[in-house]
Amino acid sequence: MNTVSQNQLTSVCVYCGSSFGSDPAHEAAATRLGQIIAEAGLRLVYGGGSVGLMGTVANAALESGGKVTGIIPRFLEKREVMLDSLEDLVITNDMHERKHLMFERADAFIALPGGIGTLEEAVEMMTWAQLGQHKKPVLLANINGFWSPLLELLDHMRAQGYIRPDTEVPYLVAKKIEDILPMLQQSVSDGKTEQAGNFAKVTEL
């Protein structure tokens, strides 16, 4: 099972959109998250692009003196406009290798707003945790309620009996960017990821 070494947070993977979306708060959140990660001395691991929220969080971390690792598959070099200024840029053969390396190089995972790719990456990490394959924390940055529909769907799955108490999906939810690192650091220091039931109801998020 993959765990965080010595219960210490040294790197975080950020999943997010390669576009900006329609809510300006999302770009502001990505900027602040990149700054906070750098200020904390953590390495940012992300998808390697220079556009949208991906580029925003990476550039914010770099401009704040942070360490950034970009991981991008060869076929997305042009579509996501690979960030050439990165000192640590890994080009993979396919998406599977990209996601595997992002998982291996990060101690925790943060999902900012994004599209179907962001959703898939975050849910995959939640699924692996549910299946006991890792204990790295997974956090949904619920900026302006962006992830609330997903949280409602998870509640619906519980109500329908598809997510049972013995197979709960572990994840964290933060409304504010400033709350993210303290929540992740607490989870890592405890050596576990808290279950969803320990957090606020969707209506409060």
Residues 6+ apart with CB under 8 A from 159: none
Separation in Å, CA 72 to CA 37, 49, 84, 122: 20, 7, 11, 17
Cα separation of 195 and 33, whole Å?
23
Residues 6+ apart with CB under 8 A from 134: 1, 2, 3, 103, 125, 128
Cα separation of 70 and 58, whole Å?
8
pLDDT tens digits for range 92-120: 999 999 999 999 999 999 999 999 999 99
pLDDT of residue 77: 76
Dihedral Cα 90, 92, 97, 101, nearest 10 deg: 0
Asked if 105 contacts 45 with a C-beta cutoff of 8 angstroms, the reply is yes
Radius of gyration of the chain, Cα coordinates, nearest whole angstrom: 16
pLDDT for 202 beyond 50:
no
pLDDT for 22 beyond 90:
yes
Domains for the chain: give ranges and CATH numbers: 14-193 (3.40.50.450)
pLDDT of residue 8: 86
pLDDT of residue 2: 65
pLDDT tens digits for range 44-67: 999 999 999 999 999 999 999 999
**3: confidence class by pLDDT, cuts 50, 70, 90:** low
Structural tokens at position 11:
């790197």
Asked if 129 contacts 193 with a C-beta cutoff of 8 angstroms, the reply is yes
AA letter at 43: R
pLDDT for 194 beyond 60:
no
**192: confidence class by pLDDT, cuts 50, 70, 90:** low
Using DSSP, how many helices (H) and how many strands (E) does the chain show?
Answer: 6, 7
For 86-91, what is the mean pLDDT? 92
Full-model pTM: 0.90
